[in-house]
Amino acid sequence: MKIAIASDHAAVDLKAELAQWLRDEGHEVDDLGPATADRVDYPDYGYKLATAVASGAAERGIALCGSGIGISIAVNRNPACRCALVGEPLSAALSREHNDANVLAMGARLTGVDMAKACVTAFLSTEFGGGRHAGRVEKLSQPAL
């Protein structure tokens, strides 16, 4: 699977760890940055990740920042993205099964490497359930304001 991954400075180490692990697992990983722990703004990287997923350049995305909150908000500004902030594998699996999430967000200050890997595994291995969830998911990209 082709996976795009991005972070802010607070999550650059977790990003590097996950990117290498995903490559070792046989995935094609596009690391969208940053490359160092120098301070950056998470919206810039969230938007970049959202563009990669929305355009089809990546099948799925992984968004990381200190808490996971800011970057998930940035990704979700793109109507083609459904970014789920999770901290454990069940939420990651349900985000796929019920919400057809195409981006997973986590907080590096809140989620250890092993738990992050468990969340990513659940996220990548769970299929969208469709059925009763399909109409709801369609509405997520077309809000009735």
CATH number of 2-140: 3.40.1400.10
Please, what is the angle between helix 113-125 and helix 89-97, to 10°? 20
Give dist(CA 22, CA 86) in Å, integer. 18
Torsion of CA 75, 69, 133, 97, to 10 degrees: 100
Tens digit of pLDDT for each residue in 69-122? 999 999 999 999 999 999 999 999 999 999 999 999 999 999 999 999 999 999
Neighbours of 116 (CB within 10 A): 26
Its pTM stands at 0.95
Residues that are catalytic: 65, 98
